[in-house]
Amino acid sequence: MDTNEPNASGVDIPPEMQGQVAITSLDKVYNWGRSASVWPMMFGLACCAIEMICAAASRYDIARFGMEVMRPSPRQSDLMIVSGTVTKKMMPIIVRLYNQMPEPKYVLAMGACASGGGPFKEGYNVVSGVDKFVPVDVYVPGCPPTPQALLNGLMKIQEKIRGESIKGSRWYQKGGDMAEIPVPLLGPDLIDLRKAADLKTGEKV
């Protein structure tokens, strides 16, 4: 972002005060700060995690976007990069991690597996995409996506953040949809508690 960009309110600033005063909207300056300091969670699932590490290394240098601070704890992170195949055995943990992240939070599905099951979709232990359980903001295609593709996806997240408004954002609203996603259970197969009532009948849910 151009450093003059926050100063785009259309209000005339007297020449002697230019460079010292900026007039902007709260949304804009707030989102500008947020979008330039998205902290991803240090959370690698499979092959894509290696490309995520490469994106953080010297050649691709994720730090250019203010995202080099990978947090091992979900409590401190803004963005969950689901980098790899989501298995049924892992699904409860992913949901729990997502629930533990403070809002505002974003999810990036990296690669074919996280987006929809990918080459392993038919497998008995594979969830067909992380979006069956947690809401996804950006999908990055590829198997695995190159670091460039991941960076492009991250820029899409930034774009999305910049387009948000404090007034409209879900997590600043009273009575907003804050409910935690119920953590699925591991029974004879994965049990999605949101659908559990329908399981008995075996009807299409």
Partner 1 sequence: MTTPSPLPAIQPSQSDISVLTTRFPEKINPDSRSGYSGWVVDKTQLLAFASALRDELGYDYLSSVTAVDYLPQDQIEVVYHAYKTTGGPGIVFKVQVPRASEVEIPSLVSVYPGAELQEREAWDLFGVKFTGHPDLRRILMWEGFAGHPLRKDWHEPYFEEDAKPLKSRWPEGHPVKAESRNKYGDNIAYPDGFEPQNKTFDPEKALYDALQRNSPDELGLSTDRIILNMGPQHPSTHGVFRIAVLLDGEKVINLKPVMGYLHRNHEKIGERNTFIMNIPYTDRLDYLSSMSNNFGYALAVEKLMNVKPPERAEFIRVIMAEMTRISNHLMAIGALLNDLGAYFTPMLYSLEERELILDIFEAVAGSRMMCNYFRFGGVSRDLPEGALQKIKDLAFERLPRKMDEIERFLSENEIIRSRGIGQGVLTAENAIRFSAAGPLLRASGIPYDIRRAEPYSIYDRFEFDVAVRQNGDIYDRLMVRFEEIRQSIRIIQQAVKKMPEGPVMALKPMYQVRVPPGESYGRVEGPKGELGFYIVSNGKPNPWRYHVRAPSFINLTAFGPMCIGQKVADVVAVLGSIDIVLGEVDR
Touching partner 1, residues 135-174 (CB under 8 A):
143-144, 146
The DSSP-derived string for 91-134 is HHHHHHHHHHSPSS-EEEEEHHHHHH-GGGTTSTTB-S-GGGTS
Handedness of CA 99, 102, 106, 109 (dihedral sign): negative
**Does 194 help bind partner 1 (rule: CB under 8 A)?**
no
**Does 189 help bind partner 1 (rule: CB under 8 A)?**
yes
Binding residues for partner 1, total number by CB under 8 A: 58
As measured in angstroms, the least distance from the Cβ of 187 to partner 1 is 5
**Does 29 help bind partner 1 (rule: CB under 8 A)?**
no
Residues 6+ apart with CB under 8 A from 32: 1, 5, 6, 162
Interface residues toward partner 1, by CB under 8 A: 42-47, 49-51, 53-54, 56-59, 72, 74, 84-85, 87-90, 93, 97, 113, 117, 119-128, 132, 143-144, 146, 185-192, 195-197, 199-200, 202-205
